[in-house]
Amino acid sequence: MSVSDQLFTRAKQLIPGGVNSPVRAFRSVGGTPFFVKAARGATLVTADDRELIDFVCTWGPAIHGHNHPRIKAAIATALEHGTSFGTPNPYEVEMAELIVKFVPSIQKVRMCNSGTEATMSAIRLARGYTKRDKIIKFSGCYHGHSDSLLIKAGSGALTHGHPDSAGVPASFAAETVVLPFNDRGALAAAFAANQGQIACVILEAYCGNVGFIMPDPGYLAFVRALTAKHGTVLIFDEVMTGFRIAKGGVQEREKITPDLTCLGKIIGGGLPVGAFGGRADIMDLVAPLGPVYQAGTLSGNPLAMAAGIAGLQLLEELNPYPRLDELGRQLRDAVLAACRAKGIPVQVPQCGSMFSIFFTPTPVRDYATALNGDAKLFGRFFHACLARGVYLAPSAYEAGFISTAHDGAAIAKACDVLAESIRSL
């Protein structure tokens, strides 16, 4: 039995499903997960000493690859001075200054500990600001696991949703409207059906949690205009795209100004961090200045701030975005060519360091068209790649990520492996 299998057997006895976050369990691709004992650069080292080229990048945070020397050194320096103070610390100020400098729409920012906390708090703030209860989200957009957001479209889809998890009260779902992404008519109809009731629209401006999906040209501007017209707060959840699609996220690339933005993943440099920020007049409603309560014992933690600051500074120094996009296109082209040769229909949406491989003939522009993808075929493809040393996300509905540590050789090898794996299907 491999070391990973032994660990998984022990884990399953004590941890539900053997994992501390469900997608790690490999349920959607079959098989059992491998354990990782170390990671450096673009490489994961498994508990059984296999080396894998990693395109999951800890689900997004590792834009500089794993254990980057600068981030490691920043954590070590912070560690010398202590792990947590429960008081304001200097790193928090530097972090806030960097975020405001990078992200065009953010005037003030509050740190928290995860993306889930960021979206949950931003929604509470939007409700407090507008004094309205209902929110709009989109099918396939994931915003963490808080109650108001684990909702799917229901029968009266324009006015209320249904719980998408056991344990979410139907009364909470009644406050969340779930619409198809990229559908202007549906959004206009939902505003018409809920006049004066919508506190916020929250979306992944580029979706990364149902695979990677870009908005149609003009869609984000349409959402911005409609929310402004209805006095509704527009929240961009850039937990995944922030600092990745561009230094200032999707909002910089698309030149759209949301009212609030949620951040996470990259901002922690591999440690647990989240943040939400935006217009100063809205942010000033957050406690202790205002009536919207939000707090965190470890928020602004010095180690996490030091790691995140080092990561953001590196992005500023390197401006890696043009190169990451070039690497992304190489991967995309390799997959497209191999699938064409083999006669397998495929869509490979890609922007910068984010990409997805959907085995479907139809363009993917929302949740429904993402589900057209052949998930069984993806499972076989995933395992074919893994057997050849390339680790893609273990689900047909997750984005792939490239880091600055993926050098030309790693990408060339990965292109070969992807093509060979497609030929083997």
Ligand X SMILES: *Cc1c(COP(=O)(O)O)cnc(C)c1O
Judge whether 211 and 396 are in contact, CB under 8 Å.
Answer: yes
Measured from each CB, the residue nearest to ligand X is 115
Known active-site residue 293: no
Q: Give, to the nearest 10 degrees, the angle between helix 302-318 and helix 69-81.
A: 150
Q: Looking only at residues 216 through 255 of this chain, which bind ligand X when binding is defined by CB under 6 A?
A: 237, 239-240
Q: How many residues bind to ligand X according to rule CB under 6 A?
A: 15
DSSP string, 351-364: ETTEE--B--SSPP
Question: CA 302 to CA 26: how far, in whole Å?
Answer: 34
**Catalytic: which of 129, 142, 367, 391?**
142
Task: List the structure tokens of 300.
Answer: 């602004």
Which residue stretch of 30-38, 44-52, 138-146, 322-330 sits at the interface with ligand X (rule: CB under 6 A)? 138-146
Compute the distance between CA of residue 333 and CA of residue 386 in angstroms, rounded to an integer: 20
Sole window of 122-130, 141-149, 344-352, 373-381 interacting with ligand X (rule: CB under 6 A): 141-149
Whether 147 is a known active-site residue: answer no
Query: In whole angstroms, what is the distance from residue 391 CA to residue 385 CA?
Result: 7
Q: What is the DSSP letter of 179?
A: E
**Buried residues in 48-70 as b, exposed as e (16+ CB within 10 A):** eeeebbbbbbbbbbbbbbbbbee
Min. distance of Cβ 328 from ligand X in angstroms?
18
Position 177 contacts ligand X (CB under 6 A):
no
Distance CA 240, CA 351 (A): 13
129 is catalytic: no
Contacts of 390 (CB under 8 A, 6+ apart): 52, 53, 55, 413, 414, 417, 418, 421
In the bound complex, what is the minimum distance in angstroms from residue 141's beta carbon to ligand X? Answer: 7
Spot the catalytic one: 54, 265, 321, 397. Answer: 265
Q: How far is the CB of 123 from ligand X (least distance, A)?
A: 12
Selecting among 129, 183, 219, 237, the annotated active-site residue is 237
Q: Please list every residue from 72 through 131 that binds ligand X, using CB under 6 A.
A: 114-116, 119
Per-residue binding string, ligand X, 273-292, x by CB under 6 A, is -x------------------
Compute the radius of gyration of the chain from its Cα atoms. 21
- For residues 197-216, which are near ligand X according to CB under 6 A? 204, 208-209
Catalytic site positions = 142, 237, 265
Residues at the contact surface with ligand X, assessed by CB under 6 A: 114-116, 119, 142-144, 204, 208-209, 237, 239-240, 264, 274
